């Protein structure tokens, strides 16, 4: 099954939502600072293109987030769906095979 990140519109009128407000936290780690900063940069990119327009159209922001952040978020979601249900198995394996864990950390 292919996972695609397609958020609802991340704008309304002259307002854009970024970071956690846009639901952009990493689904695997829960980390959100990178997504907040990156989505703010994308918002600034869209705003800068339209700063002199009489009637700005901020709809391009949602498309930009989907294009630039979507694949990474979809992959993190895929890993999450596999990893967390299997975390007990992974823990038991690493407990029995500590050398695997040491090799990973090396």
- CA torsion 99→105→71→91, rounded to 10°? 40
CA 91 to CA 51: how far, in whole Å? Answer: 52
* Position with higher pLDDT, 77 vs 86: 77
Report, as an integer, the average pLDDT of 83-87.
Answer: 82
Residue 3 predicted with pLDDT over 90: no
Q: Could you report the per-residue pLDDT of 55-65, keeping only the tens digit for each?
A: 888 889 999 99
Q: Phi then psi for 16, rounded to 5 degrees? A: -120, 145
What's the predicted TM-score (pTM) here?
0.73
28 close to 79: Cβ distance less than 8 angstroms: yes
In angstroms, the CA 12 to CA 6 distance is 17
Dump pLDDT digits (tens) for 26-59.
988 899 999 999 999 999 999 999 888 888 888 8
pLDDT at 6: 67
């Amino acid at each position: 099954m292919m996972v695609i990140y397609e958020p609802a519109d991340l704008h309304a009128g002259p307002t854009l939502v970024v970071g956690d407000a846009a639901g952009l936290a990493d689904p695997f780690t829960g980390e959100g600072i990178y997504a907040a900063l990156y989505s703010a940069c994308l918002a600034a990119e869209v705003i800068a293109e339209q700063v002199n327009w009489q009637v700005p159209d901020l709809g391009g922001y949602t498309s930009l987030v989907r294009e630039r952040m979507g694949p990474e978020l979809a992959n993190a979601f895929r890993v999450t769906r596999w990893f967390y249900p299997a975390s007990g198995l992974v823990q038991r394996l690493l407990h029995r095979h500590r050398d695997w864990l040491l090799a990973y950390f090396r």
